[in-house]
Every structure is written in structure tokens, then in C-alpha cells.
Amino acid sequence: MWVFCMFDLPVKTEKQIRRATAFRNLLLDEGFVMKQFSIYIKPTGTFSTARGLVKKLSSLIPDGGLVSFMYVTDRQFALVENFIGDMPTTNEEFIRRQHEQLTLF
């Protein structure tokens, strides 16, 4: 089971920027990895574990934030297709390859 966290957080003031950064850091501390900007993913053992994690995180969403959590099975996740666009120097996958970051699949 995978949990996707997709979010738009307000970042117009210094306080909002700090809260958005704190939320992203919370996701990283909980074991999420960044798939794309504002999309983080984490594998979990079971739906029950995933649901508990989402319940915990949903209480920590910054004011004015729009956050969606999606549950995806391993089988569904295996069907994800990733493509690199025409501007690879600004593409996250290209940057990840440059820095030789570990990818999960």
C-alpha cells in the first residue's frame, strides 16, 4: 500500500512559508519522499497503517492548506509510467539522476 500526499499550501507571508516548510519536513520525517513538487509518497504495510498515518497528518495541515491523500496498492503503483520532457535540466527525474538519488521503483 502506498500513500500519496498532494498539497497546495499558502506561501504569501513569512509565517505561511515557515508552516509550509514545517509540513514538508513533517512528511519527510514520517518517511515520505518527494515524487514531484507538492507530491510526496510513502510505502506502508497495510491500509490500516496508511489510514492511521493519514489521520495523524490530517490534524497537522497548515491553515488555508489544501491537502489530498490517496491510497494506491503496490499493483497499481507498479503501473505508473514516468516520462522526461523536452527540458531535462529543469525536470525532477533528470536532476534526480544527476545526483544519483535512490528511487523506490
**How many structural domains is the chain composed of?**
1
Report DSSP state, residue 40.
Answer: E
Return the closest-CA partner of residue 22 out of 54, 61, 49, 64.
61
- For residue 11, what pLDDT is reported? 95
Q: Is the pTM of this model over 0.75?
A: yes
Predicted confidence (pLDDT) per residue in 16-74, tens digit:
999 999 999 999 999 999 999 999 999 999 999 999 999 999 999 999 999 999 999 99
- For residue 63, what pLDDT is reported? 94
**pLDDT of 95 above 70:** no
Q: Is residue 44 part of a domain?
A: yes
* Strands of 2-8's sheet in order across: 33-36, 39-43, 2-8, 66-72
**pLDDT of 5 above 90:** yes
Q: Round the CA-based radius of gyration of the chain to a whole number and report it.
A: 15
How would residue 83 be classed by pLDDT, with cut points 50, 70 and 90?
A: confident
Q: Is residue 102 part of a domain?
A: no
Helix and strand numbers, DSSP H then E, in the chain:
4, 4
**pLDDT of 6 above 60:** yes
Handedness of CA 78, 25, 27, 63 (dihedral sign): negative
Distance of CA 78 to the CA centre of its chain: 17
**pLDDT of 85 above 90:** no
Polymer length of the chain: 105
Q: Is residue 21 part of a domain?
A: yes
Q: Residue 103 is placed in which grid cell? A: 528511487
Domain range for 26 is 2-78
Q: Is residue 64 part of a domain?
A: yes
Whichever domain contains 26, its CATH number is 3.30.70.240
